[in-house]
Structure 1
């Protein structure tokens, strides 16, 4: 939160080398400056708890498609816009990028003097593009949503990382689908870059492992386990779009906290026999 930005666009689970390829494909070098940063977390829960633990952030609105934000911080923001509540796609088991852009656009109009954090779900699985649909049906983000809705925390299918580990899916196909998810969300994020006033940064909360060794340990890991700070899990993009027009940021008098506190979630899990 101490970094210099007016708008922070978070692309969930985007490792740096994947983004570097897209950055070249979209020819963004002439518009923006790309750096590699080290994330404080190797998954969303760790990222959220490590970055938003002191607060309050009454000069900031957090717009999120990812319910993990609600689950892993009690921080107070000026507002917390839970796009996942109203725009969850039951067929995809995630929130696609478009509703997030719409929510961010509306928030920018009603709160022009606030910093914006816009947290997209992609390129995190499920892979929703054409190539992703070629992979056997895999889990989405239904597990976390069900926790917050008071339902049994379970997935409908194996994750794509479990399929990769057991050989059901190939590394090449998963990488292609992963990149495709990035292209889908980057199209939306760049729309916001063109519309929002101020200094905008595109980044990610963490990366992914596709069977790389978890150095210095001789084991292969998949996905994004927490507290494993290897290169491809914590090396994330930091793409800076400068602007001659900066926002005049002011803090509100009061804000809101997450829809569901960590204590409430723990109580729900315990009642369901999971703790």
Structure 2
């Protein structure tokens, strides 16, 4: 708790020094407002959600921070997007989703799951001992220039894993898109540098810039949609190069764009914009040849230790 308070104070001082008293006051208001919403959700809100293991699937694709309405906008562009249903997520952030998904209740089926992930929260919220395989692709394939991990390294690792891990019954592929940063977009905000992951950002992300009127809604939504297309193009490649009876697509959480004054996806908040996520099912059939490009180079213990320390996890 002391470390959290210290980090909050340091962040406040940084905002004051770089952006002035007005921005500090504004940020303090939103912090208090979100804390009030969080307390209300804890006391009176819907704590339950639809655990992914309650559904039947062989391969599950997580589209990080994908809204239901966003996915429905591109349904006519991809043949595998037929009926888009809605599920209630078990969290409003990736960390909450991991903590509330891979639980003791589902330990037997988790133990037969391959988890291929581009989300660095896996480092602190997923234990490799609980799964058949945990492939943290973000460790080797993070794109520092784009400040995220692109879809293709995940797709390649997933294809290779599904073809080779015959003993595993299921596979989860956790893509980072359509979560910002928006690949190839000029819209900027605080990125997802591994050096800052999981810490309080001193800079505002794109949703906070939208909140403060410094980004136009239409431009931001267009970039958000393009980021979704970037990952769906890889989803199409994946389902055309593996065999699986049931492939499901969903999101770990949604994303607020001003609903009830909330922007982004703060933790512990039970708004529909954050907790209602898409659910799509299709099948996969290898109809074209594709040889994935995978890396066998694992980070050294020293590399991992340095990254974890930079992330504030050690």
Q: TM-score, normalised by structure 1?
A: 0.78
1:212 aligns with 2:255: no
- Residue of structure 1 in register with 2:242 after alignment: 196
Q: How much has 1:33 moved relative to structure 2?
A: 3.6
Decide whether the 8 Å contact of 1:33 with 1:241 is kept in 2.
Answer: no
Distance 2:271 2:77 in 1: 26
Q: Is the 8 A contact 2:124 2:313 kept in 1?
A: no
| 2:155 aligned with 1:104 | no
Cα RMSD (Å) of the superposition? 2.7
Report the Cα distance in structure 1 between the residues aligned to 2:70 and 2:218, rounded to whole angstroms: 13
Distance 2:177 2:60 in 1: 15
User: d(CA) in 1 for partners of 2:196 and 2:214?
Assistant: 28
State the Cα distance separating 1:270 from its structure 2 match.
8.5
Number of residues paired by the alignment?
236
CA distances 1:74-109 after superposition (whole Å, capped 9, x unpaired): 471111101101100010111011111011111112
2:91 equivalent in structure 1: 41
Q: Deviations over 1:187-222 (max 9, x none)?
A: 101211222222111111111011121xxxxxx010
- Partners of 1:124 and 1:3 in 2: CA distance: 24
The structure carrying a bigger helix percent of its residues is 2
Partner in structure 2 of residue 229 of structure 1: 270
Match of 2:72 in 1: 20
| More strand by percentage | 1
SS of structure 1 residue aligned to 2:262: strand
Q: CA deviation digits over 1:38-84, x for unaligned, max 9?
A: 11111111111111121252211100000112222347111110110
Separation in 1, partners of 2:62, 2:223: 19
In structure 2, what is the equivalent of residue 241 of structure 1?
Answer: 282
Relative contact order higher in (CA < 8 Å, ≥ 6 apart):
1
Of 105, 112, 115, the residue aligned with 1:62 is 115
1:71 corresponds to 2:120: no
Long gaps (5+) in structure 2: 1-52, 287-300, 302-307
**Cα distance, 1:140 vs structure 2:** 2.2
- Contact residue 42 and residue 233 of structure 1 kept, 8 A: yes
Distance 1:179 1:244 in 2: 27
C-alpha separation in 1, matches of 2:217 and 2:141: 31
CA 269–26 in structure 1, closer or farther in 2 if over 3 Å, else same: closer
Any idea what SS the aligned residue of 1:122 has?
Answer: coil
Alpha carbons of structure 1 residues 82 and 73: separation in structure 2 relative to 1, 3 Å: closer
Runs (4 or more) in structure 1 with deviation over 6 Å come to: none
Q: Deviations over 1:102-160 (max 9, x none)?
A: 1111111211342110000000010113xx22x2x322222xx3368xxx946584311
CA contact (8 A) 1:40 1:51 kept: yes
**TM-score of the superposed pair, with normalisation by structure 2:** 0.69
Larger displacement relative to structure 2 (155-164 or 7-16): 155-164
